[in-house]
Amino acid sequence: MPWAHREPEPLAAKVDLLRRFRGQFDLGQDFVYGIFARDERRVAGGTGLHTRRGAGAFEIGYWIAADLTGQGLATEVTAALTRVAFEVCGAERVEIRVDSANAASLAIPRKLGFVEEGTLRRVLHDADGTPRQRDATVFALIRDDFGGSPASGAALQAFDAVGQRVL
């Protein structure tokens, strides 16, 4: 995650970032969410339903604070966003790209019924921020397979911006 190497950023930079996220969200250009610990006392990570894969497709990304991994937070949020992508947004395809060396992260799309499609070589930044050093495994779920996937049964409630329930 190349952005992590700029942390901690000054408060003004964070405010600008959150404003950009909100503007993109409101315009339907990208959908970034915070993940909070179950007791809601701290940020546990972040996720997004990203539009960078083109029309009819989304990419889900996620990260979890190191001390909160293994609690199912990334799996839960990925299942929820998968349902939103297909059931609310009408997606035809949802992708997840994972660092090929991250066993815990690789387990999430597999658990939710995503199909491993291949490996993109040297497309991810290295831990020190050096660009294009690590491989990414690409997973996808398509609309035809969504209904029978474990992700389709994820329990959730989803609401629009005015509080109307959409799922």
pLDDT in tens, 63-101: 999 999 999 999 999 999 999 999 999 999 999 999 999
The pLDDT of residue 160: 78
pLDDT confidence of residue 1: 56
0.85 exceeded by pTM: yes
What's the pLDDT at 6? 63
In tens, the pLDDT along 127-136 reads: 777 888 899 9
Q: What domains can you pick out in the chain, each with its CATH number? A: 2-148 (3.40.630.30)
Where b means 16+ CB within 10 Å and e means fewer, 25-38 reads beeeebbbbebeee
How many angstroms separate the first and last alpha carbons of the chain?
A: 31
Which residue stretches of the chain have pLDDT < 70?
Answer: 1-7
pLDDT for the residue 39: 87
Structure tokens at 155: 């329990």
- Amino acid at the residue 161: A
